[in-house]
Structure 1
């Protein structure tokens, strides 16, 4: 099964977080890719339930900390709610997705994720005072 490298990057190109995701299909929609990524990171956090959650979007009732989000002890994250929040954030341009260095335009866009493919997620930070 091919591994997809996923990078969380800043606008200047600095890598904040790197993960690898097993993909069993070469073609997926952007929405399916986001959902798989979110499900994977939520499952990993829920299995360990310690430390910070380094996810694509902030879970409800969490506190933002350096390099992630802190939740109350023994609090599980709802994967479906996180997927919904992530898809909504993409549609509101809270982050961009670059697949093989090409920007994804919509959730329904099909992208190639075969061997050697990369996906970069660029989170945008709102301007203060605007």
Structure 2
């Protein structure tokens, strides 16, 4: 199965996380891509339960920590809830998605993810006081 490389970047272009996602088809909607990514992150966290979740969006009952989000006490994350939070964050410009250096405009955009495709999730940081 082909692997899709996903990069998490800051607005300045710094890479803060890199992961690979197995895909079985060459095209997906942005919605399907976000969903697969988030459900994969949640499943990996729930399996290892190390207390720090490194994911696209912050779980509801967590606090920001260096390199992720810390949950107290350590508990399982609801994948469906995380999926909805991520889709909502995309629609509210909490992050944007670049597929092959082209910005995805909506959740229903269909993108090509064939051999050599790259996807970047650029997380936006709210301005303080502003």
Range into which the TM-score falls when normalised by the shorter chain: over 0.9
Partner of 2:129: 129
The structural deviation recorded for 1:51 is 3.9
State the alpha-carbon separation in 1 of the partners of residues 66 and 96 from structure 2.
21
Question: 1:32 and 2:32 equivalent?
Answer: yes
Pairwise CA distance, 1:11: 1.2
TM-score normalised per structure 2: 0.97
Runs of 4+ in 1 over 2 A off after TM superposition: none
- Give the Cα–Cα distance (whole angstroms) in 1 for the partners of residues 68 and 9 of structure 2: 14
- Structure 1 unaligned blocks of 5 or more: none
Give the aligned partner of residue 105 of structure 1.
Answer: 105
Q: 1:118 aligns to what?
A: 118
Distance 1:112 1:11 in 2: 23
Residues 41-120 of structure 1 aligned to structure 2 (within 5 Å): 41-120=41-120
| Unmatched 5+ stretches in structure 2 | none
Q: Distance in 1 between matches of 2:58 and 2:107?
A: 20
Structure-1-length-normalised TM-score: 0.97
| CA RMSD of superposed structures (Å) | 0.8
Deviations 1:92-124 (A, max 9, x none): 000010001100000000000111111100000
How many pairs does the alignment contain? Answer: 130
